[in-house]
Structure 1
């Protein structure tokens, strides 16, 4: 037995049909992957994401440790562009800038983590010489609206073709399996895993009959899912929209659908749009995300046309890896495609070398970005003016030595919330706008299972647990891409994705996010591991699952600052377009521009790409380039 004692968006109700179809729809590739986690970050387990040692200096900056002048040792480095943040937005910014200025443009990307990709985090496991992959953050190419020309063009340039999904997904692997719900005895009448929860259509009467609910709740839920029930008669479609925008989904369920407490409890533990709870999610947004109760009424709404869907085995980490392959070709040693990148090995020693035009420097926290020269000077094509100073140091505070480099442009592709503390020259109104959002805390845990027999016996490949420590449990999507096959035979190992959204119902939405963030940072890996094992044992123990034998490894991707904050009609005032905080916050300041998903107020990969392109255009304009 190989045993490692190692000490992820709107889903289910808010998920798109494309994602759900993919997840409901096989051998891992044998790969020449490195086996030393000390030198290969994707193999690291335990607490990952924003792990201990990656953010302590960021918190010190937030707490005023770097107020006033910040001294640093000069590296003597001068760049055309320094990018703060090595996520998809930061890497896209570097590539767009390089394409504009040419292959000799000198670019430095700084990131406080030990791996590139930001929230697009790759999790690797090695077991008996085989590679098993999972995603520690951004899951898919997917949005509730089509990708822009910019985003589509970048994917095409990287060789990513989302329409290939129908050819790579292996739908027969999970034949006869589907979604289930785990009802816990604390909130319902018994512990019970009930299969047959159909997300695309109303659950059948047989599902509700098997559910451990009282008769009144079963009756109310059957009616809620009935496509012929109109809970808001006597109103025009426009009136219904306005009413739904002004109430929470919980209010709709209680006041209009007349659900008793136990039936409401079926919904109040899971996340809806951008992982809001039912007490903060506007009913209109819940409806747009596929929540039940609205099929029998006509509601005025804007057209909804979703983007193409594609899911790499490591989520959108493959996109980050393809970007790095373009920026620093020696990292992967050969040109990469969407097939080859999945099992390609990265040589991290090539990320930051002085003989290459683009350098990616990991484990460095930026603590000061400021103009030291005249940022208004328009330069010629020689690019000899470097008026922006960037100071950085180790993110864990283990080394007080700070270093500075200078650049003609800086793009801040980090979280909006930290920018006011590291760029103090920004106008006060812009700083306040940058502080407005409260990012959504998320925890994506990847588990390597010895096999998936218990899931097969239960007849499920995804589980919703309304009041579980994790609200959603998903076996890896069966797909074959290049040399990698994600799910093999039932007796072979498989990866499991577990999603936790630690909000605190009963408080305003931003407060729920802050409280969830505090809880997440205060929870040890040992506690998380214990909760993970306990939940899996409780859910699948009756189907032969033994957590001591059947869990091979656990990687916890902790994101206290997770999804970008999105506005809603309950928690936010109605801002004129030009006065929205994210619009004010992303304004360029001299030679400093801002690019991230926060600056687009939407937690999607294509938004990160679009904002990168905008920031690059602003940067070039600041230098006098047309």
Structure 2
């Protein structure tokens, strides 16, 4: 009780209580002490945006105080897209004054999210058929011959999996190649396995988390057309050419068809742009001579003037920041529901148990953390995907994020320790004394939404909501990967370059 509260603490407490609902016990999700560190979309970073969303920020924030500062460009959001926009502006205008504002406390909080994932390129050499899916934990190395026979699933399910991997039949006889692609575009991968292949429920359950680590949702939301494009089992008998992607494949699958392009690093600013972290923007308004940008510094609202503003933040936040946007544009911006993700980095005191386990990376079939991988000499990486995939990518992300934001940090820590105990315990691991530190990056708004079948009937011909959402609005342009949209870092840079071009004098 002796710790002084900032105004943002007040917003945080109200936000959590409102999410929890009247009469329920809502934990205050402050960063915990000890070996656990939580970063990313913490309650501290989200308190002000949530207060804006709920319409209660301005009732408690107090009047805005001008700083007297003026910049040629102000960028809202200092992730890959925001830094890309600032770097491109400075390339065109080397003497320009640029300010980046971000709601997170440090810029490196973006790095885990911005860096391209390695789960899909490294692959998995083992699968944990876990208690959540099959009643008991059974670790199976899928690098060894005959691995399907060792799965703890029904005999018919093993037969079906063997057929999917080794000799799948033609599921759509008498159908043209285009017709087959159209059939795949209308199904999720889970529906393809169940309905087209007639696979045993255990076989579908075993395959369900195959896309989770890369896409943030499982096969109940992942399109069959992209499962075919990514090389998932079950499609070889269709006789489809792989010379080029289908027009129905998502932007990411099409972009990576002939091999993953090299990772594009976030541009370095070399100190030429000023950056203010822990400074969530709360208002951006056009004026006759400049735009006014208001941000919250933890105690009061402050304003700066800007010749131009690039919003490299979540599209869904923009309607709460910019007054006067047309109704159609506001609706389009709000459709961008980002996919939640969790990343955990665990430093082991003694990595011997992992080495004795004899595998490198493990996919879990139903546990909270869907992927676990060891990085020498002593680090374990884990990924969780809270999206409720049975509801689809958009509605599932909203529902999963709501549950994630109400999950106490200690529950996340216990889930990390518990799954490591289940995986490494048989090899002599102690989940209490064997862990030196845990860092969890919690991203309630992680991967940008990506258009694709079967969820978006307008894809690939359009018109696209992102096209209605973006474009200049006076001195303001909208960037961020939502505006493309695609779920990878290169999309954020593409959107940043487009926004700079739209505001180019």
Please tell me the TM-score bracket, short chain as reference: 0.7 to 0.9
Query: Paired residue for 2:227, among 286, 290, 294?
Result: 286
Deviations 1:322-359 (A, max 9, x none): 614x2x0xxxxxxxxxxxxxxxxxxxxxxxxxxxx521
Work out whether residues 354 and 424 of structure 2, in 8 Å CA contact, stay in contact via their aligned partners in 1: yes
Q: Which residue of 2 aligns with 1:483?
A: none
**Structure 1: gaps spanning 5 or more residues:** 1-42, 121-135, 145-164, 166-170, 172-176, 311-315, 329-356, 374-384, 477-486, 489-493
| Aligned-residue offset at 1:142 | 8.7
Deviations 1:235-292 (A, max 9, x none): 2211110001012212211122221111211123453573332222221122112221
| Aligned-residue offset at 1:300 | 5.7
Provide the C-alpha distance between the structure 1 equivalents of 2:158 and 2:273, rounded to a whole number of angstroms: 60
Work out whether residues 188 and 212 of structure 1, in 8 Å CA contact, stay in contact via their aligned partners in 2: yes
Are residues 590 and 517 of structure 1, via their aligned partners in 2, closer, same or farther at CA, if it must alter by over 3 Å? same
Deviations 1:448-496 (A, max 9, x none): 11233222222211000011111111122xxxxxxxxxx34xxxxx211
| Aligned-residue offset at 1:234 | 2.7
Work out whether residues 194 and 200 of structure 2, in 8 Å CA contact, stay in contact via their aligned partners in 1: yes
Are residues 515 and 564 of structure 1, via their aligned partners in 2, closer, same or farther at CA, if it must alter by over 3 Å? same
Provide the C-alpha distance between the structure 2 equivalents of 1:242 and 1:579, rounded to a whole number of angstroms: 19
Q: Which residue of 1 aligns with 2:31?
A: none
Are residues 576 and 370 of structure 1, via their aligned partners in 2, closer, same or farther at CA, if it must alter by over 3 Å? farther
| Aligned-residue offset at 1:518 | 0.6
Q: Which residue of 2 aligns with 1:236?
A: 176
Q: Which residue of 1 aligns with 2:138?
A: 192
Q: Which residue of 2 aligns with 1:56?
A: 47
Provide the C-alpha distance between the structure 2 equivalents of 1:276 and 1:101, rounded to a whole number of angstroms: 41
Q: Structure 1 stretch 464-473 or stretch 184-193: which is displaced more?
A: 184-193
Work out whether residues 142 and 306 of structure 1, in 8 Å CA contact, stay in contact via their aligned partners in 2: no
**Structure 2: gaps spanning 5 or more residues:** 1-33, 246-256
Provide the C-alpha distance between the structure 1 equivalents of 2:195 and 2:273, rounded to a whole number of angstroms: 58
Work out whether residues 347 and 436 of structure 2, in 8 Å CA contact, stay in contact via their aligned partners in 1: yes
Work out whether residues 39 and 109 of structure 2, in 8 Å CA contact, stay in contact via their aligned partners in 1: no
The alignment partner of 1:92 has SS state of helix
Once the two structures are superposed, the pairs formed by residues 384-463 of structure 1 within 5 Å of their partners are 385=289, 387-394=290-297, 398-399=298-299, 401-463=300-362
Work out whether residues 35 and 436 of structure 2, in 8 Å CA contact, stay in contact via their aligned partners in 1: no
Are residues 180 and 143 of structure 1, via their aligned partners in 2, closer, same or farther at CA, if it must alter by over 3 Å? closer
Q: Which residue of 2 aligns with 1:306?
A: 259
| Aligned-residue offset at 1:506 | 3.1
Once the two structures are superposed, the pairs formed by residues 129-528 of structure 1 within 5 Å of their partners are 136-140=112-116, 179-188=125-134, 190-195=136-141, 197-198=142-143, 204=145, 206-227=146-167, 229-272=169-212, 274-299=215-240, 302-303=244-245, 304-309=257-262, 319-320=265-266, 323-324=268-269, 326=270, 328=271, 358-373=273-288, 385=289, 387-394=290-297, 398-399=298-299, 401-476=300-375, 487-488=376-377, 494-528=378-412
Are residues 582 and 143 of structure 1, via their aligned partners in 2, closer, same or farther at CA, if it must alter by over 3 Å? farther
Q: Structure 1 stretch 447-456 or stretch 81-90: which is displaced more?
A: 447-456
Q: What TM-score, normalized to structure 1?
A: 0.69
Work out whether residues 353 and 424 of structure 2, in 8 Å CA contact, stay in contact via their aligned partners in 1: yes
Provide the C-alpha distance between the structure 1 equivalents of 2:306 and 2:89, rounded to a whole number of angstroms: 13
Are residues 143 and 584 of structure 1, via their aligned partners in 2, closer, same or farther at CA, if it must alter by over 3 Å? farther
Q: Which residue of 2 aligns with 1:480?
A: none
Provide the C-alpha distance between the structure 2 equivalents of 1:469 and 1:93, rounded to a whole number of angstroms: 36
Are residues 141 and 532 of structure 1, via their aligned partners in 2, closer, same or farther at CA, if it must alter by over 3 Å? closer
The alignment partner of 1:363 has SS state of coil
Instruction: Work out whether 1:562 is the aligned partner of 2:446.
Output: yes
Q: Which residue of 1 aligns with 2:90?
A: 98
Are residues 91 and 426 of structure 1, via their aligned partners in 2, closer, same or farther at CA, if it must alter by over 3 Å? same
Are residues 587 and 143 of structure 1, via their aligned partners in 2, closer, same or farther at CA, if it must alter by over 3 Å? farther
Work out whether residues 453 and 459 of structure 2, in 8 Å CA contact, stay in contact via their aligned partners in 1: no
The alignment partner of 2:131 has SS state of coil
Are residues 74 and 185 of structure 1, via their aligned partners in 2, closer, same or farther at CA, if it must alter by over 3 Å? closer
Work out whether residues 593 and 619 of structure 1, in 8 Å CA contact, stay in contact via their aligned partners in 2: yes
Are residues 603 and 506 of structure 1, via their aligned partners in 2, closer, same or farther at CA, if it must alter by over 3 Å? closer
Provide the C-alpha distance between the structure 2 equivalents of 1:231 and 1:450, rounded to a whole number of angstroms: 51
| Aligned-residue offset at 1:428 | 1.5
Q: Which residue of 1 aligns with 2:66?
A: 74
Work out whether residues 189 and 212 of structure 1, in 8 Å CA contact, stay in contact via their aligned partners in 2: no
The alignment partner of 1:119 has SS state of helix
The alignment partner of 2:110 has SS state of coil
Work out whether residues 223 and 452 of structure 2, in 8 Å CA contact, stay in contact via their aligned partners in 1: yes
Q: Which residue of 2 aligns with 1:335?
A: none
Work out whether residues 142 and 307 of structure 1, in 8 Å CA contact, stay in contact via their aligned partners in 2: no
The alignment partner of 2:107 has SS state of coil
Provide the C-alpha distance between the structure 1 equivalents of 2:153 and 2:425, rounded to a whole number of angstroms: 21
Q: What TM-score, normalized to structure 2?
A: 0.85
